[in-house]
Structure 1
Amino acid sequence: MLELTDVVAGYGSTVIVQGITLGVATGECAALVGPNGHGKTTLLRAISGLLRVRSGSIRFDGTDITKLKAEKIVELGLIHMPQGDLVFPDMTVEENLVLGAFTRTAAKRSRERIAEVYDIFPRLLERRGQRARTLSGGERRMLAIGRGLMGDARLIMIDEPSLGLAPVIVDEVYHQIRRIVDTGMTVLLVEENINRARSLARDIHLVENGTVVRSGRGSELLDDRAIRETYLGVSE
C-alpha cells in the first residue's frame, strides 16, 4: 500500500533522511525503530506532506503522492498521528473526535466512524463529555489516535505512542493499538523500543543516521547479536 523509493528529506541545508526505500503491505503493521534523532519522525513528516521531499518518490496505493499537499494526502486516507497528544484541550472528547472527520468523505461517515472509535477505545466513550485537558496522559494519547481514525483512514502512521507514558499506561495504549491492527488496518509505527515494536509489527526497519540499515521480522533482528547489544543492552 505504501512504497518509498530513495526518499531524501531534511530541514534547511541539513539532510536528515538520506535515501530510504521500504514498503508497507496492505493490512499489515510495519515499524521503524532506532535511536531518537536519526530520521524516523522526519520520514513520517515527508510521507504525510508536512515536509518537502527533496528527491525520491512516495506512492500510496498506486498513487504518486510525492508532491501532494498534506490535506490531499489525508483525503486519500493516509493519516499521520504525530508525537505527543496534540489534542484541543478546551474541547470535549467527542468534539475532538468530530474534528478528525474534517474531509468531505469522512464527514459523511462521522457518526458511524465515531461508534467504531468508541468500540476500540471504550475509555473515550466514558469520557465523551469531558474536556480533553482533564484526561490522563494515556487517555489523551488514545484520543489523539482515535481522532486520526476519524479521518476515514486506510493507513495510519503512529509516531512514538509510548512517549512520556508510564509503563502500565503504555501497556494499555498498545493493547488498543493491537485492536486497530487486528481490524486489518494498515499501520506504520515509529517506536524506539524494539520489543514494543515487534509485539505489533510483522516487518521492522532499523533506522540509523537517516537510512534503513536492517529490515526483517522482529525475531530475525533479535537473533542478531550486534542488534541485541546495541538496542537492548544485552551482552553475551
Structure 2
Amino acid sequence: MLEVTDLVAGYGSTTIVQGISLEVDAGECAALIGPNGHGKTTLLRAISGLIKIRSGTVRFDGVDLTRERAEKIVERGIIHMPQGDLVFPDMSVEENLVLGAFTSAASKRARQRMEEVYEIFPRLLERRTQRARTLSGGERRMLAIGRGLMGDARLIMVDEPSLGLAPVIVDEVYEQLRRIVDSGMTVLLVEENVNRAQSLASRLHLVENGEIVRSGSGAEVLDERAIRETYLGVTE
C-alpha cells in the first residue's frame, strides 16, 4: 500500500532522514523503533506532506504523492496522528471529532464514523460534551487518535502514542490500538517503547541516524544483544 523509496528530508540545512526505503502492506501494522532524535518523526512528517521531500519518492496504492500538498494526501486516506495531545482545548470532545471529518468525502459519513470512534473509545462517548481541556492526558490521547479516525483513513500513522502517559493509561491506549489493528486498518507506528511496538506490529524497522539499519519481525530485529543494548538500551 505504501512505498517509500530513498527518501531524504530534513529542516533548513540539516538533513535528518537519509535515504530511507520501506513498504507497508495493506492491513499490516509496521513500527519504526530506535533512539529518540534519529528521524522517525521526520519520516512521518515527510510522508504526510508537512515537510518538503528533498529527494526520493512516496507512493500510495501506486500513486506518486511525493510533491502533493498535505491536504491532498489526507484526501487520499493517509492520516497522521502526531506526538502529544494536539486537540482543540476549548472545543468539546464531539466538536474535536467533527473537525477530523473535514474533507468533503469524510464529512458525509461523519455520524457513522463518530459512532465507530465511540465504540472503540467508550470513554469519549461519556465525555462527549466536555471541553477537551478538562480531559486527562490519556483521554486527550484517545481523542487525538479518534479525531484521526474520523477521516476516510486507509493508512494511519501514529507517532509515540505512549509518550508521557502513566503505564496503566498506556495499557488502555494500546488496548484500543489493538482493536484498530485487528479491524484491518493499515498502521505505521512510531514507538520508542520496544515491547509496546513488538506487541502490536508484525514488522519492525530499526532507525538510526536517519537510516533503517534493520527490518523484520521482532525476533529478527531484536535477536542480537549488541543491537538491543546499543540502539534500544535493553540489557539482559
TM-score, normalising length from structure 2? 0.98
What is the CA–CA distance in structure 1 between the aligned matches of 2:185 and 2:164, rounded to whole Å?
25
Find the residue that maps to 1:19 and give its secondary structure.
strand
Q: Which amino acid aligns with 1:215?
A: S
How many angstroms does 1:15 deviate by?
A: 0.4
Which consecutive residues of structure 1, in runs of 5 or more, have no partner in the other structure?
Answer: none
What is the CA–CA distance in structure 1 between the aligned matches of 2:233 and 2:25, rounded to whole Å?
27
Question: Who is 2:171 aligned against?
Answer: 171
Alignment of 1:83-102 (within 5 A): 83-102=83-102
How many angstroms does 1:147 deviate by?
A: 0.1
Matched, 1:30 2:30: yes
Find the residue that maps to 1:195 and give its secondary structure.
helix
How many angstroms does 1:88 deviate by?
A: 0.4
Question: Who is 2:45 aligned against?
Answer: 45
Deviations 1:192-233 (A, max 9, x none): 111110100001000000000000101222222212223142
Q: Which amino acid aligns with 1:28?
A: E
Find the residue that maps to 1:214 and give its secondary structure.
strand
Find the residue that maps to 1:141 and give its secondary structure.
helix
What is the CA–CA distance in structure 2 between the aligned matches of 1:46 and 1:228, rounded to whole Å?
28
Find the residue that maps to 1:199 and give its secondary structure.
helix
Question: Who is 1:234 aligned against?
Answer: 235
What is the CA–CA distance in structure 1 between the aligned matches of 2:207 and 2:37, rounded to whole Å?
10
What is the CA–CA distance in structure 2 between the aligned matches of 1:208 and 1:109, rounded to whole Å?
40
Matched, 1:186 2:221: no
What is the CA–CA distance in structure 2 between the aligned matches of 1:202 and 1:193, rounded to whole Å?
15
| Count of residues in correspondence between the two structures | 235
Find the residue that maps to 2:205 and give its secondary structure.
strand
What is the CA–CA distance in structure 1 between the aligned matches of 2:3 and 2:216, rounded to whole Å?
16
Which consecutive residues of structure 2, in runs of 5 or more, have no partner in the other structure?
Answer: none
Matched-pair identity in %: 79
CA-atom RMSD, angstroms?
Answer: 0.7
What is the CA–CA distance in structure 2 between the aligned matches of 1:58 and 1:8, rounded to whole Å?
11
What is the CA–CA distance in structure 2 between the aligned matches of 1:139 and 1:219, rounded to whole Å?
32
Question: Who is 1:156 aligned against?
Answer: 156
Matched, 1:211 2:214: no
Find the residue that maps to 1:181 and give its secondary structure.
helix
Q: Which amino acid aligns with 1:45?
A: R
TM-score, normalising length from structure 1? 0.98
